[in-house]
């Protein structure tokens, strides 16, 4: 039995984040899949919010994906997934916060809203966030490297990537693909897709299109 247990749900992008970190670090773990529509008795003893991901590490429990990921990076420091400098770590946390408070909500609003006007507003907002990532994030921090901070993969990359793996569902149901002018984002996504840790738990476009059908109706033709 592994020292780490992660409580996950296959469709959940937040749980996907923490599973990517576990894979990247080569940490042995037990995966416990939770049916979020039929949560097992006692699950809130592990995850007080009743959400995934949550982990147990021996006697300890940690929940919230961003907190889990920093915990894993501290307790299992090799390979490190945060920059070594204080300013680098601050920049990483800024982008993780941007993902959690701005990017993810725009993605979710576009996918879930049944109102065409609100969908257009969400498209505009999401486009602005992609533009900000392209220019202020990857354009200024990655240099010639493939990842957010250049040659080294980081928690920031794994924080954003699950939504990009799910992007085919957004394109299928809302007609919003990643605009071609965002070349740095496209290169970054390709680099992430090639990593062994990402491929180990990747799912197909069809998988996400099928799983996300309940959240959105197809674009009217």
Active site residues: 12
All residues at 6 or more sequence positions from 182 whose CB lies less than 8 Å from its CB, including other chains: 130, 131, 133, 134
Strands (E), the chain: 4-8, 29-33, 54-57, 60-63
DSSP strand pairing (54-57 vs 60-63)? antiparallel
Tokens of 132: 């900000």
How far apart (Å, rounded) are the C-alpha atoms in residues 161 and 179? 16
Closest CA to 200 of 71, 3, 4, 31: 31
Tokens of 25: 């670090």
């Amino acid at each position: 039995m592994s020292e780490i247990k992660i409580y996950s749900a296959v469709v959940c992008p937040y749980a996907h984040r923490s599973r990517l970190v576990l894979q990247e670090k080569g940490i042995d773990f037990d995966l416990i899949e939770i049916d979020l529509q039929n949560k097992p008795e006692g699950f809130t003893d592990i995850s007080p919010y009743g959400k995934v991901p949550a982990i147990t590490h021996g006697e300890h429990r940690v929940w919230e994906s961003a907190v889990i990921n920093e915990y894993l990076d501290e307790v299992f420091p090799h390979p490190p997934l945060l920059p070594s400098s204080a300013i680098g770590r601050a920049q990483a946390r800024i982008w993780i916060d941007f993902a959690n408070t701005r990017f993810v909500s725009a993605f979710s609003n576009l996918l879930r809203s049944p109102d065409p006007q609100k969908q257009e507003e969400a498209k505009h907002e999401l486009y602005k966030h992609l533009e900000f990532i392209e220019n202020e994030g990857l354009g200024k921090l990655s240099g010639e490297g493939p990842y957010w901070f250049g040659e080294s993969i980081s928690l920031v990359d794994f924080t954003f990537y699950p939504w990009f793996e799910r992007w085919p569902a957004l394109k299928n149901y809302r007609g919003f693909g990643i605009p071609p002018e965002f070349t740095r984002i496209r290169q970054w996504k390709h680099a992430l897709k090639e990593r062994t840790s990402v491929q180990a738990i990747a799912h197909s476009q069809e998988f996400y299109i099928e799983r996300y059908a309940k959240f959105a109706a197809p674009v009217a033709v």
